[in-house]
Structure 1
Amino acid sequence: MRAGAQAVPTAPTGKETLVWSDEFNGNVRRGQPDPAKWTYDTGSSGWGNKELETYCAWGSNASPCTAEQPSAYLLGDGYLHIVARKMGDGVYSSARLKTQSLHGFLYGRIEARIRIPVGQGIWPAFWMLGDSIAAVGWPACGELDIMENIGKTPSTVYGSIHAPGGDLTKSLTLPDSQTLGEAFHVYGMIWSPGRVQFYFDNPSNVYARYTPADLPKGAIWPFDTGKFFILLNVAVGGNWPGNPDSSTKFPQEMLVDYVRVYAEGQDSPKAAAEHSSVREILH
């Protein structure tokens, strides 16, 4: 599929099994994302990037969060809504959902269908971190950035890996002045031993490939050593996107149609279940 073509949901091949997903269905207005699948990062530490937002958990009334205006919710329309709001001068709320301590994955095809927000200083992402982060920290745990976008490059999706001693990024830019926020797109990763590939809209449209040989000499490839958990978030400001300016409108909203994880070569429901087994992180 050419860059910029309309995204449609992809289906598993004959060699794939759907082992985990969230379709964000439900009829409850302002409903809670499934607590059996998602938990939250919270706070306003800057997250190592000098970000401006405070991440809010479901039901939090810790300022600037408010339970009456959740930053992540279901609306009965089949989407997860992640909303970044301006709550005051230089004060922003948003959400960062994660499957940490609930579900972890090693290898397979992992994708989400998303309509991203737009605007200077807005930084949506769909990504993964190693389950080992609590024990070894970052970047030793490894990071897989399946989709990142920043408001000043509205037509470009970035796919990156972060490893001890090496950071690699490649990108795909839509043609003809199209922007990613105009429509839903599928952002995905094909992950196998010693190889990570990122694709856009269709698994056949791979725009980035990484192997251990691509890392600088002495860097460590951490992507074959354990399970990773999924994150979805909208950041505001930071070293890379820069801060919002007078052109940035709020609220900003990311819509997620689904997140799906497929395993290769799973021949039975039991094998599929074992592939997607839950791994608890002990703090």
Structure 2
Amino acid sequence: MIRLAVAVGMAITMFGCSFRHANAQTFDRLVWQDDFSGDSLDYSKWEVEVNAFGGGNHELQIYTDRPENVRVEDGCLVLEARRDNAAISGTSREYSSGRVRTKHRGDWKYGRIEVRAKLPQGQGIWPAIWMLPTKDEYGGWAASGEIDIMEMRGQQPNVVLGTLHHGAPWPNNIHTGDEYTLEQGTFADDFHTFAVNWRANEIEWLIDGKSVQKQTRWESSGGKYPAPFDQPFHLLMNVAVGGGFLGPPDATTEFPVQMLVDSVKIYQ
């Protein structure tokens, strides 16, 4: 999700290839979950982030803790982007939205991270499910890594991306990854399950149980491989608006838009 300027990516391994050195470890022990079955967010598991400054990507939203932007409703976490000129801490922006994270409430090293969600669409709408290191053990972003489980440009609602950010601190960071195109319909039509199997020497992306990408090579200026992806990470979910990654909304973008999260499950 944190993008900024990036250098040319490294080679990755893709779509069903076989790897002699791949770790065959499976994850079948459920260690953390939230199915949003209550009528309010479980703050023992989630922090609602409040941020007026656009997330570092020239985004246009302000993240608030208002129920208009973050709430639990009908068995789902609702992250809603609105065009309502919301204000916090003396700063107002044309767009508001919601962002949550598990930092210090759910932090994991390796495992299967699985999120079932229905995504919003529209020009300039940027839903993301991603992970950051709980401690910057190897230095500032992206030397300590970032795992993007799923992100989508709302103007391409049938395509999602899975990406690793690593290398040296910005602006000498690099990213590696690929995209997946849904065979029929869009990711805004129904719920889909986005997951990664994160192992010591391999990160595998899955959509609805189908393996769509594997990466086995990455680097960090702060440590030897398998750094930086050998430290505890936490989960983030948000809907951004605008930014250099996808451009601003236009006259075709309808607000409000929602990312609905049905469940989050962590297996180790």
TM score, norm. by length of structure 1: 0.76
8 Å contact from structure 1 (residues 44, 52) kept in 2: no
Deviation of the 1:70 alpha carbon: 3.1
Equivalent in the alignment of 1:71 = 69
Moved more, 237-246 or 125-134: 125-134
For residues 163 and 14 of structure 1, do their structure 2 counterparts lie closer, same or farther at Cα, with a shift above 3 Å needed?
closer
2-structure distance, mates of 1:106, 1:81: 27
8 Å contact from structure 1 (residues 44, 54) kept in 2: yes
Deviation of the 1:40 alpha carbon: 2.5
2-structure distance, mates of 1:15, 1:44: 38
Question: Which letter maps to 1:169?
Answer: G
Question: Which letter maps to 2:255?
Answer: F
Deviation of the 1:175 alpha carbon: 2.3
Deviation of the 1:222 alpha carbon: 3.1
Give ranges in structure 1 of 5+ residues lacking alignment. Answer: 1-12, 58-66, 264-283
RMSD across aligned positions (CA): 2.5
Aligned pairs for 1:108-257 within 5 A? 108-133=111-136, 136-164=139-167, 165-176=173-184, 178-202=185-209, 205-212=210-217, 221-257=226-262
Secondary structure (helix, strand or coil) at the match of 1:47 reads helix
Deviation of the 1:15 alpha carbon: 5.9
Question: Which letter maps to 2:133?
Answer: G
Deviation of the 1:41 alpha carbon: 2.4
Secondary structure (helix, strand or coil) at the match of 2:107 reads coil
For residues 228 and 247 of structure 1, do their structure 2 counterparts lie closer, same or farther at Cα, with a shift above 3 Å needed?
same
Equivalent in the alignment of 2:102 = 99
Match of 1:18 among 30, 38, 56: 30
Identity of aligned residues (%): 37
Aligned positions, number: 232
Question: Which letter maps to 1:246?
Answer: A
More helix by share: 1
1-structure distance, mates of 2:29, 2:153: 33
For residues 91 and 197 of structure 1, do their structure 2 counterparts lie closer, same or farther at Cα, with a shift above 3 Å needed?
same
1-structure distance, mates of 2:36, 2:221: 43
8 Å contact from structure 2 (residues 27, 111) kept in 1: no
Secondary structure (helix, strand or coil) at the match of 2:165 reads strand
8 Å contact from structure 2 (residues 69, 98) kept in 1: yes
Secondary structure (helix, strand or coil) at the match of 1:179 reads coil
Match of 1:42 among 42, 50, 62: 50
Question: Which letter maps to 1:166?
Answer: I
Question: Which letter maps to 1:79?
Answer: C
Determine if the alignment matches structure 1 residue 258 to structure 2 residue 263: yes
Moved more, 222-231 or 148-157: 222-231
Moved over 2 A (4+): 133-137, 214-225
1-structure distance, mates of 2:219, 2:114: 24
For residues 91 and 220 of structure 1, do their structure 2 counterparts lie closer, same or farther at Cα, with a shift above 3 Å needed?
farther
1-structure distance, mates of 2:190, 2:83: 24
Secondary structure (helix, strand or coil) at the match of 1:171 reads strand
1-structure distance, mates of 2:72, 2:154: 25
Secondary structure (helix, strand or coil) at the match of 1:136 reads coil
More strand by share: 2
8 Å contact from structure 1 (residues 52, 236) kept in 2: yes
1-structure distance, mates of 2:150, 2:27: 25
Deviation of the 1:14 alpha carbon: 8.9
Deviation of the 1:90 alpha carbon: 6.1
8 Å contact from structure 2 (residues 138, 221) kept in 1: no
Deviation readout 1:254-282 (Å, 9 max, x if unpaired): 1000000001xxxxxxxxxxxxxxxxxxx
Deviation of the 1:154 alpha carbon: 1.1
For residues 253 and 132 of structure 1, do their structure 2 counterparts lie closer, same or farther at Cα, with a shift above 3 Å needed?
same
Question: Which letter maps to 1:45?
Answer: F
8 Å contact from structure 2 (residues 51, 64) kept in 1: yes
Deviation readout 1:199-225 (Å, 9 max, x if unpaired): 1101xx11111112x669999653443
Determine if the alignment matches structure 1 residue 56 to structure 2 residue 64: yes
